[in-house]
Amino acid sequence: MNAAAVASPVRIGVVGATGLVGTEMLRILEERSFPVAELRPYASQRSEGRKLPFGGDEVICQVLKPGCFDGLDLVVVDVDDPLALEWVPEAVRAGARVVDNSAAFRMDPDVPLVVAEVNPEDLTDLPKGVAACPNCTTMVLVTALAPLHRAAGLKRMVVASYQSVSGAGQPGMRELEDQWTKGDGEWEGFRRAGTAGSLPSGQVWSKPIAGNVIPLAGSVKEAGYTSEEWKLVKETRKILHDDSIAVTATCVRVPVFVGHAMAANLEFGRPVSKAEAVELLSDAPGVILVDDGDGAPTPLEGAGIDPVLVGRLREDPSRPGGLDLWVTGDNLRKGAALNAVQMAEVMIGR
């Protein structure tokens, strides 16, 4: 397909269309009036034939099988890594360009890793026909970091994340809801759970998440850091095109349904004052600065909206020239579905 055809209708497939992110993706395609000539939603066998509302009509879920991508221009993928590794190359062989929301291709040097407001120019060269979306935590954070990095060169970042249960998909949300119910939503019930085990550990996390925080998001990898923490390290460097940035992270799962948040301490190649940071962030695409002295945006305030929210912006008294900030955003929307659609829009020259 010719990317210069700005408003030409596109034949698009969405793999994982019935998941949390896939459902949001269909909604965003419709909201943004994406020029759809044909939409093919793909899901698991249990959803085959299921009708999904789209564009005032309905589309019918298909299953992945040989030839299922034939005739498509674009395919957006939101499934687990093994499925992405199997089916993304099939979509490319069928002649489609692919936006992949899994982690399968993110660190491939021939696959650009893109945040639409930060490095859309990387989409002009797709050696493998694939572009990757970052992890939802990285995406929210880097949207706020990019204008500061361009101005002063980020050198070091210490970040703690506070990640909602929807980052673990529908099972994570169900587990939190179930545990809230069993704990009666009262602090005494959760207090007893810590000693008497009145709350179940669940299937997603080995410890109760309701009324609790779990300082271990992802699986433990090298040096004791988790997969989520290493994603923040490696993906930040790749998106900002600077492998010298020093990053250390602690990722925490919190009993919030939707919205990831990060507290970041930043050091730059030169001193950056709060006043300069305010100026840079006030005009940054995809960012709303909530900094009126007590600006402290919450995940609930960021849920369901496109921009990320930045607050608690302050100079670091222990490191002259350093900054602290807080950023939060909807991990299902900007952290995944919206960015994928924005990338697709860039690909078709929109």
pLDDT in tens, 301-343: 999 999 999 999 999 999 989 999 999 999 999 999 999 999 9
Structure tokens at 5: 């055809």
Give residue 194's pLDDT: 57
On whether both 116 and 219 belong to a single domain, the answer is: no
The rounded distance, in Å, linking the Cα atoms of 327 and 219 is 24
Residue 192 domain flag: no
pLDDT digits (tens, 9 = 90+) for 105-129: 999 999 999 999 999 999 999 999 9
Q: Say if residue 301 is in the same domain as residue 324.
A: yes
Together in a domain, 156 and 24? no
The number of distinct structural domains making up the chain is 2
Count of residues making up the chain: 350
Q: Are 153 and 261 within one domain?
A: yes
Q: pLDDT tens digits for 168-227? A: 988 999 999 988 877 655 556 556 655 545 676 788 998 889 989 999 999 999 999 999
Q: How far apart are CA 194 and CA 215, in angstroms?
A: 16
Asked whether residue 143 falls in the same domain as residue 260, the answer is yes
Specify whether 136 is catalytic.
Answer: yes
Domain annotation covers residue 105 = yes
The 10s digit of each residue's pLDDT in 46-104 is: 999 999 999 889 999 999 999 999 999 999 999 999 999 999 999 999 999 999 999 99
CATH code, domain with 233: 3.30.360.10
Instruction: Considering only residues 164 and 350, tell me which one the structure prediction assigns the higher pLDDT.
Output: 164
Residue 32's CATH number: 3.40.50.720
The answer to whether residues 149 and 72 belong to one domain is no
Q: How far apart are CA 113 and CA 109, in angstroms?
A: 9
Going from the C-alpha of 57 to that of each of 21, 51, 164, the distances in angstroms are: 20, 10, 33
- The pLDDT tens digits of the residues spanning 3-45 come to 334 568 999 999 999 999 999 999 999 999 999 999 999 999 9
- List 61, 68, 133, 136, catalytic entry: 136
Across the range 150-174, mean pLDDT stands at 95
Specify burial of residue 164 (Cβ count, 10 A radius: 0-12, 13-18, 19+): buried
Q: Residue 5 has what pLDDT?
A: 42
- pLDDT score, position 4: 38
Entry pTM: 0.91
Catalytic residue among 61, 133, 149, 260: 260
Q: Could you give the strand order of the β-sheet that contains 287-289, starting from the edge strand earlier in sequence?
A: 246-253, 154-163, 260-268, 323-329, 308-315, 287-289
Q: Domain check: are 82 and 26 in the same one? A: yes
pLDDT for 1 equals 38
Q: Which residues span the domain enclosing 93?
A: 10-134+337-347
173 lies in a domain? no
Q: Are 112 and 142 in the same domain? A: no
Looking at the domain assignment, is residue 187 inside a domain?
no
Whether residue 5 lies inside any domain: the answer is: no
